[in-house]
Every structure is written in C-alpha cells, then in structure tokens.
Structure 1
C-alpha cells in the first residue's frame, strides 16, 4: 500500500504527463481520478476539519 506522500507524488506526475493519443488521454484522466479518490479515502476528514473550515471562510 502506498503512503499518502507517494500518492501525491504520483498525482503530480500524472497531472504533468502529456499523452500522445486519445486513449492515453482517457487513461490519464481515469488514473488521476483513481489517485484522487484513493487520497480522499485515506485522509481522516475529522482530523483536518478545522483547517478545511478555516480555508472556507478566508
């Protein structure tokens, strides 16, 4: 299982990746979605609730 740091690194890589074909573009979008979903599932929302709420008011 990858750490959250590794997932963010993978996300950064895929967001910068330039595909050469339509199928590669589709795979890029799908992969980014999967990584974001995995990151969201691994983060404890209650732990960061105060930070998230403070960003919303600023």
Structure 2
C-alpha cells in the first residue's frame, strides 16, 4: 500500500488514465474527485466489503 499526503487542489495519477484529486479537506473529512474512463468500475470501500461478505 502506498500512503501519500495531498492538499486540496493536489492530485495523483494512476496509470495513464485515472486522476484522483483532493477537492476539500476539513477536520477528518476528505472529498476526492476521481476522473477515469467510463469502463473503470469505482466502488466505495464499504460497498465493496459488503459485496465480498455476500459472495461468501
């Protein structure tokens, strides 16, 4: 796992076509903007974990 510190307005690029940008950061609350091709599935962590539990 890679852990990075980013400030609002800063971003990271994953591969050649996924951009994750910090758009807001306040006391324990973080908002991200994710720019990716439509065929890339993006799932919130809690939803992904529930799907894993249900698949067992």
Shorter-chain TM-score bucket reads under 0.3
Q: Which has the higher strand share?
A: 2
TM-score by length of 1: 0.27
